Amino acid sequence: MSAGMEARLGRVAVTGAAGFIGSHLVRMLRGEGIDVRAVVRPGTKKNLHMAAIQGLGCTLAYADVGDVGALERAFDGCAAVVHLVAIIRERVGATFDLVNRRGAAEVAAAARVSGVKRIVHLSALGAGPEAPRYLQSKWAGEEAIRHSGVPSVIVRPSFVIGPGGGAAAQFAAVVRLGPWYPLYLLGAPERPLAVLAILTPIVPVLGSGKYRSMPLDVRDLLAVIGQALRRDDVLGEVYELGGPDALAYDRVLDEVMAALGVRRWKVHMPMSLARALVREFRYLPNPPITQDEFEALLVDNVCDNTKTVRVFGLNLRPFRDTVRYALQNAVTADGSGRS
């Protein structure tokens, strides 16, 4: 990147910087010489992602998305904000409305007061006013950004795959542990569960397993965000982005098994049993799937990538390569991938 382009971009604030996507983004921007203010929630625990961004020479700022004053201080002197904070599962004190809608509105308000020139907002593929609750909240967050008065680019990605977290880690655990996966989420040690999984080599699948999605490589998402920060011609637009493959859930499991070198039999539950099971899961402190997630899962989460691929000049990575890249690499304390 040229020095002139670097100067024009200025400092970038990244909310959710200590998360999976955020830590990858901070690393990319710092690698390009961009001044980054990494915005993290007060009380964020020290993990590999946090350690990674602290070692990259960025400035840390602590702000909750509900605290507009703290956000204004975090955004002071920043030319752009990338807003990544969202939840896919509600808990006490953190609802879809509070985090995904109101949080986006507070970020937009703080950006406007702080003189930020653009917001790149990460939404979700399938967001809309008639979608399941999580996706409705992402749509409402988009609306808050759109009407904020700050120029913006909205990106709607499919679920994202990459080293150090995201969907790849969850799929790997589901495949490795099979029917014992819920016990793992409740805190049972992984090693004995993995032994039990070898003795019961099955993976339960809710319903038909034919519902489709377009898993997205984190590197392809970062390419779009990087350009969205720099290009004026993409302002005011919404870009849907999935991987190049529209895959049934069964196929996703097959590819994960191949990448891990394990063999499991897929056992499909009748939909009536699946629904009953999901209802019972609500009594667990950390259920394997919530009712909202279940309803969203059953809807094909696909898009037409033509516009986004053309505008950003993408060569999307196939899921087979992406899942191997994600599962065969770990994120180290310096944020790099290591086999």
For the stretch 146-179, pLDDT in tens is 999 999 999 999 999 999 877 888 999 999 999 9
Domain boundaries, the chain: 3-159+214-243+302-316, 165-211+247-297
Give residue-wise pLDDT tens across range 248-291. Answer: 999 999 999 999 999 999 999 999 999 999 999 988 998 999 99
Distance between CA atoms of residues 235 and 237, nearest Å: 6
pTM of the model: 0.92
Q: Do 80 and 13 contact (CB within 8 A), yes or no?
A: yes
Token pair for 164: 């150090």
Determine contact, residues 234/153, Cβ cutoff 8 Å.
Answer: yes
For residue 336, what pLDDT is reported? Answer: 47
Residue 309 identity: V
- The predicted pLDDT at position 332 comes to 42
Helix (H, G, I), strand (E, B) or coil at 318: coil
CATH fold of 3-159+214-243+302-316: Rossmann fold (3.40.50)
Reading the block at residue 121, the tokens are 């907002």
Say what the pLDDT of residue 8 is. 66
pLDDT band of residue 6 (cuts 50, 70, 90) is very low
SS3 content of the chain, % helix, strand, coil (to 5): 45, 15, 35
pLDDT digits (tens, 9 = 90+) for 8-61: 689 999 999 999 999 999 999 999 999 999 999 987 766 667 777 888 889 999
Note the pLDDT of residue 1. 39
Dump the DSSP string for 226-259: HHHHH-GGGTT-EEEE--S--EEHHHHHHHHHHH
